[in-house]
């Protein structure tokens, strides 16, 4: 066999392969179908349960049995994805209408996961059995081969209401994602009915019925006016807020009780909310908190926050909305598969697509029912006709040699080989003209059907069949009649399974929270050489002054309402609110300064640390490795941002030293090659923080400033140079921007 080598551009193969993979994930994995609102894994799981006979009125079956059967027959993508989808379809706090009835630990609203599939059991919910799966035997949807072509599976389930809206959907595909909030079943059914009665209905008119999302967790949607645009475009943000009630507690205290949470908070969000509230207390932003407890149970959410007697309740509630996830945002992106392609749809489009699907399902259902009724009518008419000539038929049967001979006589009037008692019987037999189906029914008829009451029942049954045929033909021929059938079914679903709305839709203006101004006091800031920072009161510092000075690198007074300023060698200034630092005992470890600021100890080094109060009172002297100097007024660094540029640096330069300008008169620059230059600070000009500065010392190409000193009059300043001691006070005063003196000892 001659092998052929086909040369193809590598980029073309990659592009085609990636597109095939992306479309497979989009169509066959991650996104729901607009018709039944189900992803493939959900559809396959429900269909497999139907095939296994795990009905709502039968015993539960192990989840592992369902998962294994689904994976083996329809969904060969791993058991975890199947079980996860099964679990979600049982959780009433996630789905507006659970489709599976779970028995056992299927997780809870606080984020605890479900038990392993070998421990849990499940069965179909009644609405799933009756309105998703019951008509599959009537050829209402198309079937296709499974992954190995050994089984057939439905390409879509005949859901009898817009399930995509009722249960919502979430999924991440390749380059796209869907996020559809759940809605109220009764409202969605009414909207579908309204569309069928007027196909020109607008989105705004549909919103008279579908007022907005209806989350299983309740709460409030607070941006009602923005919902119209969201439902028009299928994209937007829904602002959700939890429900807070005020209860009077003992001793005159007040309890705030959270009974409903925002939908995005379900899961680990509750734990984070409790941590956030605790952090507000620890940072002294919420000093009115006495205690917080989570008293939630299977009966519902109950988070209790106990407050002081004189607490400002409204202001505290507003703080919870602003500072925690008690007010959150649900991002809406109503993306689903329509006609085999992903499409972002608005409210009306989703209802339109679903209604069109309902008409298609109903048409195929009644075509199937009509065909069966016509077949039944044909047989009934044959049996009634046979009862009128039953003696002749018995004579034919007794005179025939086999079934084929008797059937040929009944259908075509052939009498060859049949023995008759009289010529009249033979002539009558030649006139028979039953259909094939009628002849088979006559030959299979039992003698008890000849009883008078049985014949009467057959006639009544025939009349019912005729009535059904007229009704089915009317439904199929007239769109109004078919629409009425669908409307009646929607009314039945609403009556049997509808419930009151849980989420309240309203307009609420932006929350106004006035942060209480803390009483201004002075504290001591302490930070050790490892970067752990904290604050203590001044009295505590004074009692432990010796140990504090020995253990900490940066120590200074700051105000509890102020900021700490961190200057780094890269020319950045990072600020930290003093209130964000832990305040407590002297022996407390503190918190890494990296955790509360943008400072990154792996990429930059601290050059100078001070309080913003000090900066406002003094000027700063900047010195860099390339000997660039300047004086900057400290008030320029009175900023509210967490990170700003403190100075402009030349290429490959970095800050070496920053000092407060107090009583210093002279400064000394020492270079790596051993040059010293002493000059008056008055020679350094005052510049803006955005300036580079002026040159303080002429350096050789390979040289750079290694150290900066500020000698104080009357105080010896001894440094080590070439292994010997050098008194800097004895250096002669030179001029800025000179080479300096090479010291040889």
Q: How many CB atoms lie within 10 A of CB 131?
A: 21
Task: Count Cα neighbours of 593 within 13 Å in the Cβ-side half-sphere.
Answer: 32
Beta strands per DSSP E along 412-562: 504-505, 522-527, 532-537, 554-559
- Long-range contacts: 466-473, Cβ < 8 Å, 24+? 466/377, 468/369, 468/373, 469/370, 469/373, 469/374, 469/377, 472/366, 472/369, 472/370, 472/373, 473/370
The single residue of 18, 21, 119, 470 carrying the catalytic annotation is 119
Report the candidate in 530, 528, 531, 529 with the shortest Cα–Cα distance to residue 587: 528
Distance between CA atoms of 657 and 679, rounded to whole angstroms? Answer: 16
- The percent helix, strand, coil of the chain (3-state, each to 5) is 40, 25, 40
CA proximity to 35, closest of 129, 163, 143, 154 = 163
- The residue assigned the tokens 């300096």 is 740
Residues ≥6 apart with Cβ < 8 Å to 72: none
Cα 639 to Cα 369, 507, 560, 574, 613: the distances in Å are 78, 36, 16, 10, 12
Contact 599, 606 (CB under 8 A): yes
The answer to whether residue 532 is catalytic is no
Q: Token pair for residue 694?
A: 């002026």
List Cα–Cα distances, 513 to 151, 172, 256, 316, 688, in angstroms.
61, 36, 17, 8, 37
Helix (H) or strand (E) holding 52: helix 40-52
Q: What are the beta bridge partners of residue 246?
A: 256
- With contact defined as beta carbons under 8 Å apart, do 501 and 219 qualify? no
The catalytic residues are 119
């Amino acid at each position: 066999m001659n092998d052929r080598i086909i040369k193809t551009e590598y980029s073309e193969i990659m592009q085609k392969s990636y597109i095939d993979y992306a479309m497979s994930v989009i169509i066959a994995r991650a996104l729901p179908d607009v018709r039944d609102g189900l992803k493939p894994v959900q559809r396959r799981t429900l269909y497999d349960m139907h095939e296994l006979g795990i009905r709502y009125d039968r015993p539960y079956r192990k989840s592992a049995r369902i998962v294994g059967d689904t994976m083996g027959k329809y969904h060969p993508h791993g058991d975890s994805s199947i079980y996860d989808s099964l679990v979600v379809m049982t959780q009433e706090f996630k789905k507006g209408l659970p489709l599976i009835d779970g028995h056992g630990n299927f997780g809870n609203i606080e984020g605890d996961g479900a038990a392993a599939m070998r421990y849990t059991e499940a069965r179909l919910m009644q609405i799933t059995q009756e309105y998703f799966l019951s008509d599959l035997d009537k050829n209402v949807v198309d079937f296709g081969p499974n992954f190995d072509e050994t089984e057939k599976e439905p390409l879509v389930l005949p859901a009898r209401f817009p399930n995509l809206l009722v249960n919502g959907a979430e999924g991440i595909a390749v380059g796209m994602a869907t996020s559809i909030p759940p809605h109220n079943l009764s409202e969605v059914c009414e909207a579908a009915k309204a569309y069928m009665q007027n196909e020109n209905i607008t989105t705004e008119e549909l919103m008279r019925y579908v007022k907005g999302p209806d989350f299983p967790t309740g709460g409030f949607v607070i941006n009602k006016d923005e919902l119209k645009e969201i439902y028009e475009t299928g994209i937007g943000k829904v602002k959700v807020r939890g429900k807070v009630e005020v209860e009077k507690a003992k001793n005159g205290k007040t309890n705030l009780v959270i009974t409903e949470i925002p939908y995005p908070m379900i899961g680990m969000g509750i734990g984070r909310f409790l941590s956030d509230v605790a952090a507000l207390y620890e940072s002294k932003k919420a000093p009115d908190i006495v205690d917080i407890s989570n008293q939630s149970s299977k009966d519902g959410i109950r988070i209790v926050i106990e407050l002081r007697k004189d607490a400002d309740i409204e202001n505290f509630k507003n703080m919870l909305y602003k500072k925690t996830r008690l007010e959150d945002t649900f991002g809406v992106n109503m993306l689903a598969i329509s006609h085999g392609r992903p499409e972002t749809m608005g409210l009306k489009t989703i209802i339109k697509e679903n209604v069109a699907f309902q008409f298609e399902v109903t048409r195929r259902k009644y075509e199937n029912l009509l065909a069966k009724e016509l077949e039944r009518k044909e047989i009934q008419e044959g049996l009634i006709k046979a009862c009128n000539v039953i003696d002749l038929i018995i004579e034919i049967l007794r005179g025939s040699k086999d079934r084929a001979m008797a059937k040929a006589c009944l259908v075509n009037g052939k009498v060859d080989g049949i023995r008759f008692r009289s010529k009249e019987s033979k002539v009558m037999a030649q006139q028979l003209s039953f259909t094939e189906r009628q002849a088979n029914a006559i030959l299979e008829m039992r003698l008890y059907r000849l009883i008078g009451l049985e014949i009467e029942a057959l006639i009544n049954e025939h009349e019912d069949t005729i009535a059904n045929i007229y009704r089915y033909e009317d439904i199929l021929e007239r769109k109004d009649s078919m629409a009425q059938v669908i409307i009646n079914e929607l009314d039945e679903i609403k009556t049997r399974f509808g419930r009151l709305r849980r989420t309240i839709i309203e307009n609420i203006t932006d929350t106004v929270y006035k942060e209480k101004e803390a009483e201004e006091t002075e504290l001591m800031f302490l930070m050790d050489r490892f970067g752990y920072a904290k604050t203590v009161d001044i009295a505590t510092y004074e009692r432990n002054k010796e140990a504090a000075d020995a253990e900490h690198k940066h120590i200074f007074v700051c105000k509890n309402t102020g900021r700490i300023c961190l200057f780094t060698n890269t020319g950045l200034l990072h600020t930290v609110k003093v209130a964000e630092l832990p305040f407590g005992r002297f022996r407390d470890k503190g918190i890494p300064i990296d955790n509360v600021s943008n400072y990154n100890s792996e990429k930059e080094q601290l050059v100078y640390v001070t309080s913003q109060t000090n900066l406002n009172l003094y000027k700063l002297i900047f010195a860099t490795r390339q000997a660039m100097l300047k004086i900057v007024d400290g008030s320029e660094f009175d900023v509210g941002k967490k990170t700003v540029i403190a100075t402009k640096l030349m290429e490959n330069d970095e800050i070496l030293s920053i000092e407060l300008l107090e009583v210093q008169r002279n400064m000394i620059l020492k270079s790596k090659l051993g040059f010293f230059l002493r000059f008056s600070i008055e020679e350094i000009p005052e510049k803006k923080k955005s300036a580079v500065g002026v040159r303080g010392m002429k350096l050789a190409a390979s040289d750079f400033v290694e150290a900066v000193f500020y000698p104080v009059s009357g105080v010896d300043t001894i440094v080590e140079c070439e292994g010997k001691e050098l008194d800097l006070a004895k250096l002669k005063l030179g001029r800025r921007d000179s080479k300096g003196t090479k010291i040889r000892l």
